[in-house]
């Protein structure tokens, strides 16, 4: 029997077909997920017959004007994407995603699914430090929205079941999203203050550090050491330390 997954939030960005949204609600109910967020509005191109016995998830779906608002209170955010390439690296497979979610039971995690037509914009993708990819037919990699949610839901539920059978849940003592954002901004501010950034950067260091920290999942001790290290950089270059509490 799947356990409750209230801390795992499914986020659909401007879905087009109400049938897809209805199917997503049913799949979430199948695997005991109960929070659905939608960027934009619930479409009305089809009826909701696919949400059979799961209409409450649609009734309780929370609507947001943009992805930034939909993810602002979450500790970690994972986007699902069919795109591959040098500028769109994949961080985890579905099984690795399930393990990542499983190891952080104390944190709220958002799973983001883009539009049926063109997925996420570059700006929206940058709001999601981690990216998961289904290894589908390279000639036809685009998976239906509801089916992608089904695959992700099943991976999480089956991973939980396997670990229960093997003796319990592993927990990574990682800091919250607010603390992660705080050390990220401190690192960026120090780098900016010591003149690290060039006028024409080829690397998006803001996105890189967000991804690095999300993959690292630092605990409080590690965050303290990062703060200590970057403060020392600031002292060496500027001759004085940089405060942290005001971040």
Number of domains in the chain: 2
Cα 80 from Cα 125, distance rounded (Å): 10
Q: Which of 117, 135, 165 is the last residue of a domain?
A: 165
Cα 247 from Cα 241, distance rounded (Å): 14
Phi, psi of 224 (to 5 degrees): -60, -40
Cα 175 from Cα 116, distance rounded (Å): 34
Domain contains 158 = yes
Q: Which of 165, 199, 222 is the last residue of a domain?
A: 165
Which tokens belong to 136? 């589908």
Contacts of 106 (CB under 8 A, 6+ apart): 171, 174
Domain contains 44 = yes
Does the model's pTM come out above 0.85? yes
Which tokens belong to 138? 């390279």
- Which range marks the domain in which residue 64 is found? 8-165
82-95 confidence digits (pLDDT tens): 766 555 678 899 99
33-78 confidence digits (pLDDT tens): 999 999 998 887 554 555 566 778 888 899 999 999 999 999 999 9
For residue 180, the tally of other CB atoms under 10 A from its CB is: 22
């Amino acid at each position: 029997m799947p356990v409750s997954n209230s801390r795992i939030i499914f986020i659909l960005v401007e879905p087009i077909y109400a049938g897809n949204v209805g199917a997503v609600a049913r799949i979430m109910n199948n695997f005991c997920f109960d929070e659905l967020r939608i960027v934009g509005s619930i479409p009305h191109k089809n009826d909701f017959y696919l949400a059979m016995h799961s209409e409450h998830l649609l009734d309780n779906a929370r609507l947001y004007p943009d992805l930034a608002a939909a993810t602002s209170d979450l500790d970690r955010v994972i986007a699902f994407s069919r795109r591959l390439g040098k500028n769109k690296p994949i961080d985890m497979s579905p099984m690795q995603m399930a393990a990542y979610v499983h190891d952080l039971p104390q944190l709220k995690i958002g799973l983001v699914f883009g539009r049926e037509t063109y997925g996420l914009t570059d700006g929206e993708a940058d709001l999601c430090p981690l990216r998961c990819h289904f290894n589908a037919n390279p000639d036809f990699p685009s998976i239906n929205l509801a089916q992608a949610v089904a695959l992700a839901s099943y991976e999480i539920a089956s991973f939980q079941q396997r670990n229960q059978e093997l003796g319990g849940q592993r927990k990574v003592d990682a800091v919250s999203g607010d603390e992660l954002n705080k050390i990220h901004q401190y690192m960026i501010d120090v780098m900016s203050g010591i003149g690290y950034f060039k006028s024409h950067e080829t690397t998006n260091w803001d996105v890189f550090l967000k991804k690095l920290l999300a993959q690292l999942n630092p605990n409080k001790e590690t965050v303290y050491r990062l703060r200590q290290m970057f403060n020392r950089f600031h002292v060496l270059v500027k001759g004085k330390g940089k405060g942290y509490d005001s971040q």
